Amino acid sequence: AMAYGDDGHNLREVLATFKSCLDEKSEILMDPYLAGWKGLVRFLNTMGTIFTFVSKDAVAKIQIMEEFRSGPHKESYRTLQSMVSYEMANNLVDMKKNTERPVSGCRTILRLHRALLWLQLFLEGLRTGGADCKTSVVCTDSYNASLANYHPWIIRKATTIAFCTLPNREAFFENMKVGSNEEAVEMLGEALPHIKKLYDITQELYSQHKLLDLP
């Protein structure tokens, strides 16, 4: 019963939320996308207070998007695609640094999108890593191949120190609450292609609109 514990951070359900983001037109639905991130934050909050600076930033970005989703233009934020169309058409996306305009949905989602690549690489590393792989190394490599490219030195330093506190692979799998190690590996193998698809569709959308470098 413990293995399927319902304390709010069953990773199988969190990853299934991401799977449910794609609608029939291959558009990405904002609500399950944000719900997926909230689930990841709940998971992160079980990893120790050293990650508080990470979860605070993630929560702040989720909240920005939730405000758009409950504001006067909420229908425009139903999917990532409709958000891009709406914000671009209404000149709401700041292309330069240090201007007074409010933060856009596009730049906010871009930060989560970059973090989704970290997640994909990290989970893939855990899945294929073998019983005695070092999670801190897997995590650092995934970070260096994704988010680190956009973070200033001080954040990279703090992040790398926090990664050293990560538990071993077995403890990670246990914390995922999806059953045995074999079941965890199988669950990741099933879930990761959906995460990758979400990432690829978003990457293509942002690339088409030249939004990949938003400050």
List residues binding ligand 1PX (CB under 6 A).
11, 40, 43-44, 47, 51, 53-54, 57-58, 111, 114-115, 118, 139, 143, 147, 155, 159, 166, 172, 176
What is the distance between the alpha carbons of residues 99 and 178, in angstroms, rounded to a whole number?
Answer: 46
CB nearer ligand 1PX, residue 28 or residue 94:
94
CB of 212 to ligand 1PX, least distance (A): 13
Whether 65 contacts 105, CB under 8 Å = yes
- Taking the least distance from each CB to ligand 1PX, the nearer of 18 and 23 is 18
* C-beta of 73 vs 111, nearer to ligand 1PX: 111
- Tokens 């792989």 correspond to what residue? 133
* Residue number with CB closer to ligand 1PX (54 or 84): 54
State the SS3 of 45-78. Answer: CCCCHHHHHHHHHHHHHHHHHHHHHHCCCHHHHC
- Among residues 61 and 69, whose Cβ is nearest to ligand 1PX? 61
Least Cβ distance, residue 178 to ligand 1PX (angstroms): 10
Comparing C-alpha atoms, which of 212, 201, 195, 24 is closest to residue 124? 195
- Contacts of residue 208, Cβ cutoff 8 Å, sequence gap at least 6: none
The 3-state DSSP composition of the chain as helix, strand, coil percent (nearest 5) reads 70, 0, 30
Q: How far is the CB of 50 from ligand 1PX (least distance, A)?
A: 10
Q: How far is the CB of 1 from ligand 1PX (least distance, A)?
A: 21
Six-digit token pair at 79? 């999917």
